[in-house]
Amino acid sequence: MSQSVYGIDLAKYSFSIHGENHQGKVLIHKTITRSKILETFANMPPSHHLHTL
């Protein structure tokens, strides 16, 4: 199983998300609104680590 790491920058109305696999390849890098946060994370592959930035 490959590992991935996601980071999230929390703001008042939007969130910046960055995810990388174990080789450092970017899986996701985008800014989303508060209303899309649950939908976005529900559709991502499982992660072993989640970091807030």
Per-residue pLDDT of the chain (53 residues; tens, 9 = 90+): 567 888 889 888 899 999 888 888 998 899 999 899 889 888 877 765 555 55
Decide: 52 and 8 in contact? Cβ < 8 Å: yes
Q: What is the pLDDT of residue 4?
A: 80
pLDDT at 22: 82
Predicted confidence at residue 48, as pLDDT, reads: 59
42 and 32 in contact (C-beta within 8 Å)? no
Please write down the HEC assignment for all residues of the chain.
CCCEEEEEEECCCEEEEEEEECCCCEEEEEEEEHHHHHHHHHCCCCCCEEEEC
- Tokens at 50, concatenated: 């989640």
Structure confidence at residue 38 (pLDDT)? 87
Query: Taking the domains of the chain in order of start, what are their residue ranges?
Result: 4-52
Please give the pLDDT value at position 11.
Answer: 87
Q: What is the pTM of this model?
A: 0.67
Q: Which long-range contacts (CB under 8 A, 24 or more apart) does 19-27 make?
A: 19/44, 19/47
